[in-house]
């Protein structure tokens, strides 16, 4: 706006100045022409009066009185001043002597301007340069000097007119500039103001704040881009904070669970310790029983500590998977064999069904062994004597499938989604359930997740349960390697691999080259 105003001002000043110069020049030419006309008319009158016989200006340089009398008539002066010159006219008669005008002592006629100026005219306070008019036609040459003063001209009115038009145009242009500048400023500043407000709200902790879509659309392309990016950033920030909050809550719960789990065996140990001190001396049988119970609680503590350590390592992504393109049958078989004594102790029939051909997938045998051991351990634990636990391995289209089925107590449908949570134990009170820690299935899910696989469960209370683990042929190829962060309740019928924070996991591969040795796995 300032630039436009300054430009208009400068242009107006220059134009008016130049115009004034131009008019002055025009006026000078015009006045000269008027003076010439006056001189010519005066010469004609003078010559007529003197009748071309006598001199208008005689040898004594005196002007003919008859000529002066005619010129001084009011009618004549009116014609000269008001009509021809449109200025006050001063006429002097005289002679040219030695190229010099010598005025006649009596030959001065003054005709003042008496009429009002015409429309658009104004009086100029100037006096023109005297015009010298030689008259040589008569026998007695003489000269007339005509001077015009205070003429009426159109210059002032024309300049005033142009100045007015320029001022009007200038004001219009300035007004237009203000409107356009205001519109442009609004277009730029409104989205920016919204952006600033949104940023402030975000800084003050309102993570749900966004720049409205309408504002984004109304702004310029650049501002719209910034606002869109801002919204995207705010969205991600909100998501991240939600994840961190959820993690924090889970960690708090986890810590509470851990302390709770530790307190039970510690309380038992303290009780046995006191009983031993009080009665151990007198009663060797009670002493032996207390020692046995103490050893059991210590085992449980040790087991708990080991599992907790394992789970936290798995969850933090510190675990290095030792992926090998091996036959998965070996890992499953060894885990089942290790569980056989427990099954026999509980009088549960444990069967293993393996395919005839190797099922080669890239996996960490020790960890998959642990998965099977946990699942089979649970199956045996939750199956009454006389029941059956069947483990089956098969090759599927792009990987392997391990199924652990029992004829045990089963799991309530309502509990299914929760059994993979840490420290979750079934609500049904039974001796077998009391002995667990609720970490086994959480570990299973973490390990399966790290392999990019899935674990599902189907169960009917009273009839038994079936856990199915499906592992991809190559966790790396499927891009499925994940840090197991599984703390969310997992639907029992759906894959356990549901994660909120995912990132690649550390993998050690003992034979990374031979992909061809992997199980082609086409039979379901």
**For 350, phi and psi rounded to 5 degrees?**
-110, 115
Provide the terminal-to-terminal Cα distance of the chain, rounded to the nearest Å: 78
Distance CA 490, CA 190 (A): 47
210/425 with CB nearer ligand ADP: 425
Q: Please give the size of the binding site for ligand ADP, defined by CB under 6 A.
A: 21
- Of 146-154, 176-184, 336-344, 378-386, which segment contacts ligand ADP by CB under 6 A? 378-386
Distance CA 483, CA 497 (A): 10
Report, in Å, the least distance between residue 370 CB and ligand ADP.
12
Residue 487 makes contact with ligand ADP by CB under 6 A: no
Distance CA 400, CA 352 (A): 15
Report, in Å, the least distance between residue 475 CB and ligand ADP.
23
101-125 residues labelled b (16+ CB within 10 A) or e (exposed): eebbeebebebebeeeeeeebbbbe
- Of 113-121, 282-290, 409-417, 478-486, which segment contacts ligand ADP by CB under 6 A? 409-417
Residue 371 makes contact with ligand ADP by CB under 6 A: no
Report, in Å, the least distance between residue 387 CB and ligand ADP.
10
Strand partners, 123: 152
Site string for ligand ADP, 427-446 (x = CB under 6 A): ------x--xxxxxxx----
Among 198, 348, 409, 448, the residue binding ligand ADP under the rule CB under 6 A is: 409
| Residue 523 burial (10 A CB sphere; 0-12, 13-18, 19+) | exposed
Residue 81 makes contact with ligand ADP by CB under 6 A: no
- Alpha-helical (H) ranges within 382-453 are 431-434, 440-450
Strand partners, 324: 363
166/379 with CB nearer ligand ADP: 379
Distance CA 413, CA 401 (A): 24
Residue 411 makes contact with ligand ADP by CB under 6 A: yes
Report, in Å, the least distance between residue 438 CB and ligand ADP.
4
Identify the CA nearest to 458 among candidates 493, 425, 433, 484: 493
Residue 82, both tokens: 């008001």
114/384 with CB nearer ligand ADP: 384
498/517 with CB nearer ligand ADP: 498
Tell me the three state secondary structure of residue 182.
Answer: helix
Report, in Å, the least distance between residue 373 CB and ligand ADP.
11
Residue 465 makes contact with ligand ADP by CB under 6 A: yes
Residue 378 makes contact with ligand ADP by CB under 6 A: yes
- Of 34-42, 81-89, 247-255, 424-432, which segment contacts ligand ADP by CB under 6 A? 424-432
Residue 408 makes contact with ligand ADP by CB under 6 A: yes
Distance CA 495, CA 477 (A): 19
Residue 425 makes contact with ligand ADP by CB under 6 A: yes
How many other CB atoms are found less than 10 A from the CB of residue 53? 8
Strand partners, 110: 90
234/439 with CB nearer ligand ADP: 439
Beta-carbon contacts of residue 322 (< 8 Å; ≥ 6 apart):
364, 365, 366, 508, 509, 510
Residue 387 makes contact with ligand ADP by CB under 6 A: no
Report, in Å, the least distance between residue 367 CB and ligand ADP.
16
Strand partners, 321: 507
Specify the pairing of strand 464-472 against strand 454-460. antiparallel
- Of 52-60, 211-219, 342-350, 404-412, which segment contacts ligand ADP by CB under 6 A? 404-412
**For 499, phi and psi rounded to 5 degrees?**
-130, 150
Residue 406 makes contact with ligand ADP by CB under 6 A: yes
Residue 486 · residue 509 · CB < 8 Å: no
Among 166, 216, 382, 446, the residue binding ligand ADP under the rule CB under 6 A is: 382
Residue 388 makes contact with ligand ADP by CB under 6 A: no
348/419 with CB nearer ligand ADP: 419
Residue 130 · residue 147 · CB < 8 Å: yes
How many other CB atoms are found less than 10 A from the CB of residue 83? 11
Report, in Å, the least distance between residue 399 CB and ligand ADP.
23
323/469 with CB nearer ligand ADP: 469
Residues that bind ligand ADP (CB under 6 A): 378-379, 382, 406, 408-411, 419, 424-426, 433, 436-442, 465
């Amino acid at each position: 706006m300032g630039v436009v105003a300054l430009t208009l001002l400068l242009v107006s000043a220059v134009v008016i100045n130049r115009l004034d110069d131009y008019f002055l020049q025009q006026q000078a030419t015009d006045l000269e022409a008027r003076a010439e006309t006056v001189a010519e008319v005066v010469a004609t009158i003078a010559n007529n009066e003197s009748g071309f016989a006598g001199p208008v200006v005689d040898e004594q340089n005196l002007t003919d009185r008859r000529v002066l009398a005619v010129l001084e008539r009011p009618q004549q002066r009116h014609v000269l001043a008001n009509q021809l010159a449109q200025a006050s006219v001063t006429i002097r008669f005289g002679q040219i002597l030695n190229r010099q005008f010598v005025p006649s002592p009596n030959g001065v006629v003054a005709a003042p301007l008496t009429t009002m100026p015409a429309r658009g005219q104004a009086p100029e306070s100037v006096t023109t340069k005297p015009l010298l008019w030689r008259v040589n036609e008569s026998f007695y040459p003489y000269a007339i000097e005509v001077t015009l003063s205070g003429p009426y001209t159109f210059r002032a009115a024309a300049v005033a007119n142009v100045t007015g038009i320029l001022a009007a145009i200038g004001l219009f242009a300035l007004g237009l500039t203000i409107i356009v500048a205001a519109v442009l400023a609004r277009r730029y500043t409104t989205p920016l103001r919204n952006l600033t407000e949104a940023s402030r709200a975000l800084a003050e902790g309102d993570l749900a704040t966004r720049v409205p879509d309408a504002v984004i659309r109304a702004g310029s392309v650049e501002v719209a881009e910034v606002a869109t990016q801002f919204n995207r950033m705010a969205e991600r920030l909100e998501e991240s904070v939600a994840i961190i909050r959820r993690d924090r809550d889970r960690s708090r719960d986890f810590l509470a669970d851990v302390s709770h789990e530790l307190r039970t065996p510690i309380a038992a140990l303290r009780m046995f310790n006191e009983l031993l001190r009080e009665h151990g001396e007198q009663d060797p049988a009670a002493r032996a029983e207390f020692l046995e119970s103490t050893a059991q609680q210590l085992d449980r503590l040790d087991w708990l500590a080991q599992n907790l350590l394992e789970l936290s390592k798995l969850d933090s992504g510190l675990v290095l998977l030792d992926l090998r393109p091996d036959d998965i049958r070996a890992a499953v078989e060894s885990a089942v064999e290790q569980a056989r004594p427990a099954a026999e102790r509980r009088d549960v029939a444990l069967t293993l069904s393996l395919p005839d051909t190797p099922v080669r997938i890239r996996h960490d045998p020790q960890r998959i062994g642990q998965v099977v051991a946990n699942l089979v351990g649970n199956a045996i634990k939750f199956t009454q004597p006389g029941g059956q636990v069947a483990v089956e391995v098969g090759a599927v289209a792009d990987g392997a499938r391990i199924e652990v089925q029992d004829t045990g107590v089963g799991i309530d449908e309502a509990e299914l989604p929760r059994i993979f949570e840490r420290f979750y134990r079934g609500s049904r009170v039974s001796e077998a359930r009391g002995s667990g820690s609720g970490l086994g299935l959480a570990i299973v899910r973490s390990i399966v997740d790290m392999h990019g696989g899935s674990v599902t469960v189907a169960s009917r209370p009273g009839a038994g349960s079936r856990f199915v683990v499906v592992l991809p042929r190559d966790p790396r190829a499927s891009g499925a390697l994940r840090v197991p962060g599984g703390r969310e309740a997992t639907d029992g019928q759906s894959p356990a691999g549901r994660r909120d924070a995912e990132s690649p996991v550390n993998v050690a591969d003992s034979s990374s080259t031979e992909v061809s040795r992997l199980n082609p796995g086409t039979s379901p």
